[in-house]
Chain A
Amino acid sequence: MVTTDVAVKFTLNGIPMERDVPPNWTLLRFLRDGLGFTGTKCGCEIGECGACTVIFNGEAVNACLVLAPQIDGASIWTIEGVASSGRKLHPIQQAFVECDAVHCGFCSPGMVMSTVALLLHNRIPSNAVLKESLAGNLCRCTGYLQIIEAVRKAAESMDDMHLEKFRR
């Protein structure tokens, strides 16, 4: 029996890492079961729900549809890396709290990561662009109005410097 793990080098939330990953693991499984980063949620595992959204080289992707061996050389940001340190929330997270955009909370990490990706590309998104950017994230509590309000609030009130690190 041959089981060869694949050696990968990558950056997770700004921290360089080197690991051997099972070839048939997805990035989602690697984050949760390999590294214990359980903030990235496991929903449908087929790209439909967006609960596992992470930033991959500056773009939102579903971690369930990236193979772990494909992360070699990549920079990845997960919800654990969004707040800078300690107890202070990132302005996007703060906006979600203030707008009551968190109901059961399961979709929230993915929603926040999609918001980061949106604002990285478009600091003043129109309503149409905003909705389209979140169309790949499902909220089963259907708190969409509050979520949209939170994204708008974050877009309007946040300083650019809060997005800088995600570009790296």
Chain B
Amino acid sequence: MKEQDTINPSSLRQALAAKARPNLVVVAGGTDILVQLHDRVDRPWPKLLVLDGIKALGKITLHDDFVTIGPNVTFSEIESSPIIGKYAPQLAQAASVAGSVQIRNRATIGGNVANASPAGDLIPPLYVLGATLELLSVRTKRSMPIEKFFVGPGKTVLKSNELITAIRISKVKRIGFFLRLGTRQALAISKVSVAAALMIKSGIILDVKIALGAVAPTVIRAGVAEELLRGNRLDAKLIDHAAEAASKEARPIDDIRSVAAYRKEMVGILLKRGLTKILESM
């Protein structure tokens, strides 16, 4: 039986009720899912649950201690939001270099997270910002650190009746960066990316988080490099050590976009570039 249907709810409640049914494919901006479904256009299609009519999921909200980003917020909105620019500059940077204008106007943060690509550009910034995901079903509500969400490429712990309904980041101010390499600047999926968030006082690194994209089955933290940096004075020699450590922590593969050896080396180069820029600005 060929069944074609599209559910276009205007409220989250309706969407969650619909999601309780099995075999429903969620569409936000559609920039991943429509590419994945492209070859099936004239064959049986899954039932689609279209989220972009739910206005409540498309907002960036400032709270006392944290910022909430709705899953439907687009890359363009992240790029131009003064709130994100202030509390999550890494995220704004990543949103501004991904895809093209056309893609950024449609692609959403929720789609980027749920698609679970190790090369998803918003994910490393969310790791270093310590983001928390809110997952809702008709009856349940749970929160988890973003690092617990991913199982492998395209695989997450999201249950079939759940939606990502919010992404939260703390308002603690940190400096940081997002850097990536692709075949060209626009419209190229990252071969490798590095995000970092640091708290530095009088030259000493009080806290640091580093995340690496496209060099493992999921985005990963560079724990050894972080450990080297934490508690120490940022200088050129320390940067070299940390870059070398991060390079070793990367576990990339050869694939259509790049080769493992290059990716490993570039992890160190990107981390060095970012940290050196911070050192120079101090």
Complex: chain A residue closest to B8, CB-CB: A69
Interface string of B51-86 (1 = CB under 8 A from A): 011000000000000000000000010000000000
Instruction: Give the number of chain B interface residues (Cβ < 8 Å).
Output: 32
Partner of A136, one of B2, B53, B102: B102
Q: A23-B6, A61-B105 are in contact. Are A67 and B48 (CB under 8 A)?
A: yes
Q: Quick check: is B34 within 8 A (CB to CB) of the other chain?
A: yes
Q: In the complex, what distance in Å separates the CA atom of A132 from the CA atom of B185?
A: 9
Q: Is the CB of B105 within 8 A of A2?
A: no
Q: Quick check: is A39 within 8 A (CB to CB) of the other chain?
A: no
Q: A50-B100, A60-B101, A136-B100 are in contact. Are A6 and B8 (CB under 8 A)?
A: yes
Q: Is the CB of B34 within 8 A of A67?
A: yes
Q: A6-B8, A64-B34 are in contact. Are A70 and B50 (CB under 8 A)?
A: yes
Q: In the complex, what distance in Å separates the CA atom of A78 from the CA atom of B124?
A: 37
Q: In the complex, what distance in Å separates the CA atom of A2 from the CA atom of B6?
A: 12
Q: Is the CB of A47 within 8 A of B31?
A: yes
Q: Is the CB of B103 within 8 A of A62?
A: yes
Q: Quick check: is A26 within 8 A (CB to CB) of the other chain?
A: yes
Q: Quick check: is B5 within 8 A (CB to CB) of the other chain?
A: yes
Complex: chain A residue closest to B184, CB-CB: A135
Q: Quick check: is A156 within 8 A (CB to CB) of the other chain?
A: no
Chain B residues whose CB sits within 8 angstroms of the CB of A64 once the complex forms: 34
Q: Quick check: is A53 within 8 A (CB to CB) of the other chain?
A: yes
Q: A65-B31, A67-B27 are in contact. Are A46 and B6 (CB under 8 A)?
A: no
Least Cβ–Cβ distance between B135 and chain A, in angstroms = 24
Q: Quick check: is A3 within 8 A (CB to CB) of the other chain?
A: yes
Least Cβ–Cβ distance between A119 and chain B, in angstroms = 13
Q: In the complex, what distance in Å separates the CA atom of A45 from the CA atom of B101?
A: 16
Chain A residues whose CB sits within 8 angstroms of the CB of B41 once the complex forms: 24, 26, 29
Residues of A13-43 whose CB lies within 8 A of B? 22-24, 26, 29
Q: Quick check: is B45 within 8 A (CB to CB) of the other chain?
A: yes
Q: Quick check: is B252 within 8 A (CB to CB) of the other chain?
A: no
Q: Quick check: is A133 within 8 A (CB to CB) of the other chain?
A: yes
Q: Quick check: is A48 within 8 A (CB to CB) of the other chain?
A: yes
Q: A61-B105, A62-B102 are in contact. Are A136 and B4 (CB under 8 A)?
A: no
Least Cβ–Cβ distance between A144 and chain B, in angstroms = 13
Partner of B35, one of A65, A66, A70, A117: A65
Among B29, B31, B101, B186, which residue has the most Cβ atoms of chain A within 10 A? Answer: B101
Q: Quick check: is B3 within 8 A (CB to CB) of the other chain?
A: yes
Q: Is the CB of A3 within 8 A of B4?
A: yes
Partner of B50, one of A45, A62, A67: A67
Chain B residues whose CB sits within 8 angstroms of the CB of A48 once the complex forms: 187
Q: Is the CB of B101 within 8 A of A117?
A: yes
Chain A residues whose CB sits within 8 angstroms of the CB of B48 once the complex forms: 23, 67, 69
Q: In the complex, what distance in Å separates the CA atom of A118 from the CA atom of B185?
A: 18
Which residues of B line the A interface, CB within 8 A? Answer: 1-6, 8, 27, 29-31, 34-35, 37-38, 41, 45, 48, 50, 52-53, 76, 99-103, 105-106, 185-187
A/B interface sample: 5 pairs, CB < 8 A: A3-B4, A53-B102, A56-B105, A136-B99, A136-B103
Known pairs A47-B99, A117-B101. 18 more at Cβ < 8 A?
Answer: A2-B1, A2-B3, A2-B5, A22-B4, A23-B6, A24-B41, A47-B31, A56-B105, A62-B102, A62-B103, A65-B102, A65-B106, A69-B50, A70-B52, A73-B53, A135-B186, A136-B186, A136-B187
